[in-house]
Structure 1
C-alpha cells in the first residue's frame, strides 16, 4: 500500500510590517538654542534687541530652565550678552568682530586649501556640484540658499584637511559672518557673479594641483569680502 503523500505545507503568513521607532524630539534646551541662533543669524533678531526668557519659553513651548541653558551656550559663542533678571541682548556685529572673523578665515582657509592639493576626484566633484548649486540659486534670486552653498563650498575644503578642531572653529566663524553675508549680496548684486567666478578660480587651481595659485585665489576671494564689509570695495 503506497505511503500517503505529505500534505503541502501551509503558506507562511506574511511578516507583519515593522513600524520604525518614533524619533525622540530633541531636548528642550537644544530646541531653544536652534530657535534663537537661527533668529540671530538670519537677522530676525537684530543686534541690540533684548530677548526675555518668558518670550522665548512661550515661542518654543518650554519652561524657562532650558531657555537659560540655551542662552548660556549662545553667550559663549559671542552672539548674546546675558543680563540677570532682564534677558539676553543680541550683540551687534562690530567692526572689530568683522576684522577678526576675516583674518581668522584667511588663516584657516589658506592653510586648508594648500593641504587639499593634490585634491581627490571626490572632492573636486563635490566642489563642482556646489558651484553649480550656487549658480542655480543665484538664477532664481535665492540669495540665502546661495550663501548656504557658498559656506558648504569652503567648508568642504576645510573638512578635507582632516583637522576636527579647525572644522569646528570654521563653522563658528561662518556662523558669525552669516549675519552680514546675505545683506552684502542684496547691497552689491554684482558681487553674485564675481563670487561665482572666484569660486570657479579656486576649483580650477585645485584641479590643476597648484597649491599656491589656490591659496592666492582664496586670499583674493576672502579679502574682497572684507573690503565689502568695510564698505571700501565692490
Structure 2
C-alpha cells in the first residue's frame, strides 16, 4: 500500500491504509507474512506471492466479508488496485435495461458488467456485487482459473434482498419464495421517525447462516437515509 497518494480519491485505503498489526493479530495466516521494519513499522514484502495472496484474502475477509482462495501459479490481484479500478468505473454510466434481460424479468435499473478472463480470484464480480449490487457475466478459458473462480463464487453465498413500503407485501412474497423452493428466507423492519419499512432477504443455499439480528426492529436516526443495498452477505442488517 505504498502508493496511497496515487489511489483513486474514493478508494477506502487511500487515506486509511490497512492496519497490518491488527490484521496480523486476528488472522494467523496473514501474521506470518508481517515483519517489523528498521523503523519499527509492520510491513509486508510485496515481492513474495504468498504474502500478496495472504494480504488480498485477509482484506477481502475483513473489509468485505468475502472468502476466496487463489493458486500461487496464477495472477494474484491486490485489493487496493481493484477498488481503484471499480471507483473509476463508477464514473461511467451503466445501461439501465440490459438487452439480454428476458421479457419475464422485471424491468429495473441495473448495473451490468462483462468480465473476460475473470481470473482465479473472480475478485471483480465478487467485489462489484458486494459493494455496488452490480450484475456480472464473467468468463474464463483457463481450466485452473475457472475451477477456482467457480469455487470462490459458490463459497460466498450471498443473500438477495428487497425493501418494502407496506408490511402486507411480506406474506405474499414469502409465500412465493416458498413455492419456488427457496430454502432460506428472513426479514426485518426499519423505523425512521414515524416511517416504517420492511426488508425481505433470501438465499438459494440451504446451509447459509441467517444474518444475526434480522428479526429485531431497527430504529434509524431521523437524519439518516434508508438505502437498499441489493444484496446482503451473512451478517447483521444495519
| TM-score for the superposition, normalised by structure 1 | 0.25
Give the structure-2-normalised TM-score.
0.24
Structure with the higher fraction of residues in helix conformation: 1
